[in-house]
């Protein structure tokens, strides 16, 4: 029995299904860099592969081919010379697989495959020919393709318009850990923090296993953040540029987009992204946005009552958000900055904004808590600017749940150190929001106010406006839907 792994149960079942099939399997595994793709595959197969090749970032075709033949020679005790091109390399791999002469599964793992496809290398066409002419007919072959460059895998394998069209048999997109999985992972490391501290840590690192692996159980949450982000030469201080430039060609354009998104809480439309970055509003920008969405760095928020082209794009990667708020252009900050600004108002504002992202990433838990898991529903953002001439007020809803049972949930998300108190001003703000929303959308559905808070809403004269409550503990529940 395999050693227990945190989360990844669905991914394990998909791999189990592939291993039970009696035909050749081409498996795509992709997701954000540092999310644990290689760990998942290594763990599932117990680091036992018939052939494994790992692409090297920014290395030449000759270097990649040398790595290929070195691995082949280790497996065969051979003395093959480096192939002249990828066509010859795949011919060698074909001969090696034929030599296995076994009915057992033959496992081939190409990790970071996008990095093998260097400029004018001919890699993709050689792989297409290998799979179509040979690999797809070997019933016991399981070929795993993995990479952090989601855009490359989507364009060249999943949505390939040539020889690989519709050839993959399984695709696994690896998501970051949830709050529940993050807590389980930290406990396994011997880290015993409050859920409030875990949630704040999540707002910085997200559920990225590599980042979480750097946490030290001998330090508090605050000390860990200072050590990993603010001390001189800290491990995660300079992660940002490496992260984007290793994933995307012309990484500067991607960074320009996410930087502008980091400045706008509710997000930007495509035209607004073009205007703020100076990038032409054309197919190239569409591609950048799509790649960022596919990779999980940006969230596409549908706008209630609008068509898809009017979607708002919101920076959803926690590390990137933290970088723009606290690391970029702040090289001289105190090495104990995070510990020394615990009660700073700017910290509270950042936490409140970022908590909204946490809620959106745990929408299943919210639906479960308010009892609508079995009801068809969609999530949206909504706002209106109002009109001074007409004397109408503006309003904004960062998360609303539009339900088939003719109910709309308007969600308020508050990250506080204790119970949230609704006072007269807050009560008036919410009532105005309801009025404006009903007037502008002309909805006939019932409107319910949901508060998602750390420790609940304090009962008082105004708390009855809240129909349903979700607390931080609820967000830590496993998502069963």
Asked if 292 and 407 touch (Cβ cutoff 8 Å), the reply is no
In a domain, 35, yes or no: yes
Has residue 103 been placed in a domain?
A: yes
**329 backbone φψ class: left, alpha, beta (φ>0; ψ -120 to 50):** left
Domain boundary among 357, 392, 424: 357
CB neighbour list of residue 65: distance below 8 Å, 6 or more residues apart = 82, 83, 84, 85, 86, 89
Count CB atoms within 10 A of the CB of residue 444. Answer: 7
Q: Is residue 197 domain-resident? A: yes
What value, to the nearest 5°, has the Cα angle with vertex 232 and ends 231 and 234?
A: 65
Domain boundary (290, 325, 357) is at 357
Confidence at residue 161, expressed as pLDDT on a 0 to 100 scale: 60
Determine, yes or no, domain membership for 2.
no
What is the SS3 assignment for 68? helix
Residue 33, φ and ψ in degrees, nearest 5: -60, 140
Query: Could you tell me the strand order of the sheet in which 106-111 lies?
Result: 51-54, 106-111, 141-147, 25-30, 170-173
Residue (of 409, 417, 312) closest to 366 by Cα position? 409
Does 200 share its domain with 165?
no
In a domain, 217, yes or no: yes
Whether residues 342 and 423 share a domain: the answer is no
Q: What is the pLDDT of residue 21?
A: 93
Tell me if residue 77 falls in helix, strand or coil: coil
Q: In the chain, what's the furthest Cα-to-Cα distance?
A: 82
Dihedral, CA of residue 319, residue 381, residue 267 and residue 282, to nearest 10: 120
212/268 same-domain check: yes
Q: Which three-class secondary structure state does DSSP give residue 410? A: strand
Short-list 179, 175, 176, CA closest to 362 = 179
| Run means of pLDDT, 10 residues per run, the chain, 481 residues | 74 94 93 92 95 94 96 92 95 95 93 92 93 92 91 79 66 94 96 97 96 96 96 89 85 94 90 95 92 91 72 93 91 87 91 95 96 92 76 81 95 95 95 92 94 97 96 90 50
Are both 23 and 144 inside the same structural domain?
yes
Domain range holding 454? 362-475
In the prediction, which pLDDT does 232 show?
Answer: 87
Whichever domain contains 33, its CATH number is 3.40.50.300
Is residue 165 domain-shared with residue 35, that is, in the same domain? yes
Q: What are phi and psi of 138, to 5 degrees?
A: -95, 100
State the total domains in the chain: 3
**Integer distance in angstroms from the first to the last C-alpha of the chain?**
27
Query: Are 21 and 93 found together in one domain?
Result: yes
In this prediction, residue 170 carries a pLDDT of 87
> DSSP assignment of 94-124, as one string?
HHHHHHH--SS-EEEEEETGGGG--TT--HH
What pTM did the predictor assign? Answer: 0.91
């Amino acid at each position: 029995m395999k050693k227990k792994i945190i989360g990844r149960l669905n991914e394990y079942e998909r791999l189990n299904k592939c291993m039970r099939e009696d035909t050749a399997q081409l498996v795509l595994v992709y997701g954000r860099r540092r999310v644990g793709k290689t760990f998942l595959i290594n763990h599932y197969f117990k680091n036992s592969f018939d052939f494994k090749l790992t692409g090297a970032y920014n290395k030449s075709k000759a270097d990649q081919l040398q790595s290929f033949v070195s691995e082949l020679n280790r497996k065969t005790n051979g003395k093959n010379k480096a192939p002249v091109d990828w066509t010859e390399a795949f011919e060698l791999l074909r001969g090696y697989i034929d030599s296995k002469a076994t009915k057992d599964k033959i496992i081939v793992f190409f990790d970071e495959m996008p990095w093998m496809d260097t400029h004018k290398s001919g890699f993709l066409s050689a792989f297409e020919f290998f799979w179509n002419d040979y690999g797809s007919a070997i019933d016991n072959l399981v070929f795993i393709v993995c990479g952090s460059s989601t855009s490359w895998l989507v364009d060249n394998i999943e949505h390939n318009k040539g020889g690989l069209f519709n050839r993959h048999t399984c695709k696994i997109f690896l998501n970051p850990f949830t709050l529940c999985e993050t807590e389980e992972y930290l406990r396994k490391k011997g880290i015993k923090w409050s859920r409030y501290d875990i949630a704040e840590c999540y707002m910085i690192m997200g559920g990225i296993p590599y980042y979480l692996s750097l946490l030290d159980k001998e330090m508090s949450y605050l000390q860990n953040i200072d050590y990993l982000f603010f001390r001189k030469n800290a491990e995660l201080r300079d992660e940002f540029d490496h992260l984007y430039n290793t994933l995307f060609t012309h990484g500067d354009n991607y960074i320009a987009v996410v930087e502008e998104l980091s400045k706008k809480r509710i997000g930007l439309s495509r035209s607004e992204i073009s205007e703020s970055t100076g990038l032409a509003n054309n197919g190239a920008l569409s591609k950048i946005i799509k790649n960022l969405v596919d990779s999980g760095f940006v969230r596409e928020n549908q706008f209630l009552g609008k068509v898809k082209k009017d979607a708002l794009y919101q920076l959803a990667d926690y590390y990137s958000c933290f970088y723009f708020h606290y690391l970029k252009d702040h090289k001289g900050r105190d090495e104990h900055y995070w510990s020394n600004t615990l009660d700073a108002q700017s910290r509270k504002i950042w936490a409140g904004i970022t908590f909204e992202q946490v809620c959106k990433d745990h929408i299943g838990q919210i639906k479960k808590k308010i009892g609508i898991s079995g009801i068809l529903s969609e999530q949206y953002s909504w706002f209106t600017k109002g009109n001074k001439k007409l004397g109408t007020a503006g309003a904004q809803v960062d998360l609303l749940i539009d339900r088939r049972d003719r109910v709309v949930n308007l969600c308020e998300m508050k990250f506080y150190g204790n119970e949230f108190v609704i006072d007269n001003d807050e009560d008036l703000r919410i009532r105005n929001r309801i009025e404006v929303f009903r007037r502008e959308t002309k909805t006939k559905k019932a409107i319910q106010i949901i508060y998602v808070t750390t420790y609940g809403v304090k009962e008082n004269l105004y708390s009855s406006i809240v129909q349903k409550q979700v607390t931080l503990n609820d967000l830590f529940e496993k998502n069963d839907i």
